[in-house]
């Protein structure tokens, strides 16, 4: 039986850890939130007083923290890496810039331990239902060592490459597409508004045509609402398209569409809409073009 | 029984006219191509020696020509409008800029005749199968007069607004989304290439995630081919995104994503790839970013 240390028991991490418990893994968790630790215990897991304590004697250390800086803090300053047994595997499942993942992996490797770069997509719903998409990169044997854990968390587990950083890049590319797809729906709706086209009919037509996207069908209806429920905030794409553009800088790739889309999310956040639903990037277009 | 004059018997027009014949309409057609006129006759239609001759005594004059300039030439210089009976309806089904449609409608209205602005989407396959999407704008009674014709040509017939030009705008918005969706897939793939991610696996993951779009699933596989079959050429999007940006100018709407995408198609055409499959806009990214 694989022993898992799980650090980061937030909206994604807690249901993921719970799924591991449900599938027979021994899970020791750590989070700054005592409430999260209580919830893990209720689900049958063990609580640790620190990330290092959680990592001690684990076979796989899952990091589902907020960003690369937190992952570094947990692993290095926090001592979790040292506490991990020498043949243990670090599964970095948080969304991080590809270059940051490469740097972290190098430091992990220097200690003789292994890292698998394994970001996820599918959101909280996918975390709960164990239907996450997992985009893992690292040497095949490292991937194989972590695969039982991944299979308990998602139903679309891909080995995307041999080099850590490649998983983060696939996730980055995923966010590039998602962010631009949201922004372009807003751009299209803002143009249609100029000549008084009924946006509900427009959305119905576009949803069934070659112009359709997953985001058009999901975010489009919420763009027509003045104050939609927040399913994912504007500031998430301020961050994620920021990671996309950082990846472009690190690899020296010009990304004109992602850059333009990022500006619209950034402006929305700057006007005070950072916590609004990300569909409300359309307000940037209305502000820019003076309509509605 | 509605008598239809059909001008423009190309790849789209001929199957559309054939569907009208199959559904019992009397169709008189005109095209510069004698071969197209032969084909119409074989399908049971009548050939005319000019657009004006086709229009004479028709209830509905369908224009399925290449662009607004051809529509104007047929209607005005070509005399088709004058030949049309006073209560006849012009169904402008070609893809035209919204402002051009408004200008044409004004001149049609001055003669006492009516115009319905009714561009289509669905391509040659939709034209053949009578499954086109038809985005019609004009006063309700004009729409009602042309609706039997539309119902014979498509299965998704929408009355998108009362003002001619609004249909063209819906089609314009459709092309905005389609063009940006193709370009952003190219941008995403070009970034992934920088770190050696396997694009086939990437495409498989993106096709099943929130990053998916109709265009990603259709054009994505062709982006991975060096010389894919041409289903729609780069130059079509040079033209159509040009119409999008013209619509933005006419209505004073800033369209940063459409503008950036247009540049990439334009550059592809400028390098000699105008007749290549539009998926090959990815070559602009490879040229720009120096990869592959």
At B2 the pLDDT is 87
Among B154, B217, B137, B134, residue whose Cα is nearest residue B182? B217
Domain locations in chain B as residue ranges:
3-162, 169-289
At A120 the pLDDT is 96
| Fold of domain B169-289 | 1.10.1040
Condensed to tens digits (0 to 9), the pLDDT of residues B27-73 reads 999 999 999 999 999 999 999 999 999 999 899 999 999 999 999 99
Can you tell me the mean pLDDT for A101-106?
A: 98
Condensed to tens digits (0 to 9), the pLDDT of residues B227-276 reads 999 989 999 999 999 999 999 999 999 999 999 999 999 999 999 999 99
Nearest to A260 among B198, B212, B257 (CB): B257
Binned at pLDDT 50, 70 and 90, residue A1 comes out as low
Has residue B292 got a pLDDT over 80?
A: no
ipTM score of the complex?
A: 0.93
Condensed to tens digits (0 to 9), the pLDDT of residues A41-56 reads 999 999 999 999 999 9
Condensed to tens digits (0 to 9), the pLDDT of residues B101-157 reads 999 999 999 999 999 999 999 989 999 999 999 999 999 999 999 999 999 999 999
Is A292 designated active site?
A: no
Can you tell me the mean pLDDT for A89-99?
A: 96
Among B122, B149, B125, residue whose Cα is nearest residue B58? B149
Q: Which residue of A has its CA nearest to B201?
A: A160
Task: Work out the angle between the directed axes of helices A199-207 and B166-194 (0-180°, nearest 10).
Answer: 50
**Among A residues 159-198, those touching chain B with beta carbons less than 8 Å apart:** 160-161, 163, 165-166, 169-170, 172-178, 180-181, 183-185, 187-192, 194-198
Binned at pLDDT 50, 70 and 90, residue B188 comes out as very high
Query: Nearest-CA distance from A139 to chain B in Å?
Result: 14
Has residue B25 got a pLDDT over 70?
A: yes
Query: Nearest-CA distance from B129 to chain A in Å?
Result: 15
What is the Cα–Cα distance from B269 to B276, expressed in whole angstroms? 9
Can you tell me the mean pLDDT for B213-240?
A: 96
Q: Please give, one letter per residue, the 3-state secondary structure of chain A.
A: CCEEEEECCCCCHHHHHHHHHHCCCEEEEECCCHHHHHHHHHCCCEECCCHHHHHCCCCEEEECCCCHHHHHHHHHHCCHHHHCCCCCEEEECCCCCHHHHHHHHHHHHHCCCEEEECCEECHHHHHHHCCEEEEEECCHHHHHHHHHHHHHHEEEEEEEECCCCHHHHHHHHHHHHHHHHHHHHHHHHHHHHCCCCCHHHHHHHHHCCCCCEHHHHHHHHHHCCCCCCCCCEHHHHHHHHHHHHHHHHHHCCCCHHHHHHHHHHHHHHHHHHCCCEHHHHHHHHHHHHCCC
Q: Do domains B3-162 and B169-289 have the same CATH topology?
A: no
At A142 the pLDDT is 97
DSSP 3-state of B142: helix
Can you tell me the mean pLDDT for A2-22?
A: 97
* CATH code for residues B3-162: 3.40.50.720
Has residue A267 got a pLDDT over 70?
A: yes
Among B80, B161, B139, residue whose Cα is nearest residue A200? B161
């Amino acid at each position: 039986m694989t022993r898992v240390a799980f650090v980061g028991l937030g909206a994604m991490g807690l249901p993921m850890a719970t799924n591991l418990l449900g599938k027979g893994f021994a899970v020791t968790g750590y989070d700054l939130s005592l409430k999260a630790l209580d919830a893990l215990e209720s689900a049958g897991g063990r609580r640790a007083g620190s990330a290092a304590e959680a990592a001690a004697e684990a076979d796989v250390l899952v990091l589902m923290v907020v960003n690369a800086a937190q992952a570094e803090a947990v692993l290095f300053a926090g001592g979790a890496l040292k506490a991990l047994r020498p043949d243990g595997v670090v599964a970095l499942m948080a969304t991080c810039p590809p270059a940051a993942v490469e740097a972290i992996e190098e430091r992990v490797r220097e200690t003789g331990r292994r890292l698998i770069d394994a970001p996820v997509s599918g959101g909280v719903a996918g975390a709960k239902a164990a239907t996450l998409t997992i985009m893992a990169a690292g040497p095949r044997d490292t991937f194989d060592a972590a695969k039982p854990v991944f299979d308990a968390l998602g139903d679309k587990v891909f080995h995307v490459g041999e080099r850590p950083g490649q998983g983060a890049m696939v996730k980055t590319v995923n966010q590039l597409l998602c962010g631009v797809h949201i922004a372009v729906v807003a751009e299209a709706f803002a143009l249609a508004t100029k000549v008084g086209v009924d946006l509900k009919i427009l959305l119905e037509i576009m949803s069934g045509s070659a112009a359709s996207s997953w985001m058009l069908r999901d975010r489009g209806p919420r763009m027509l609402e003045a104050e939609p429920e927040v399913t994912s905030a504007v500031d998430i794409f301020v961050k994620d398209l920021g990671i996309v553009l950082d990846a472009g800088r690190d690899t020296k790739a010009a990304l004109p569409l992602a850059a333009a889309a990022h500006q619209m999310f950034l402006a929305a956040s700057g006007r005070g809409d950072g916590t609004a639903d990300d569909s409300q990037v359309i307000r940037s277009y209305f502000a820019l073009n003076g309509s509605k």
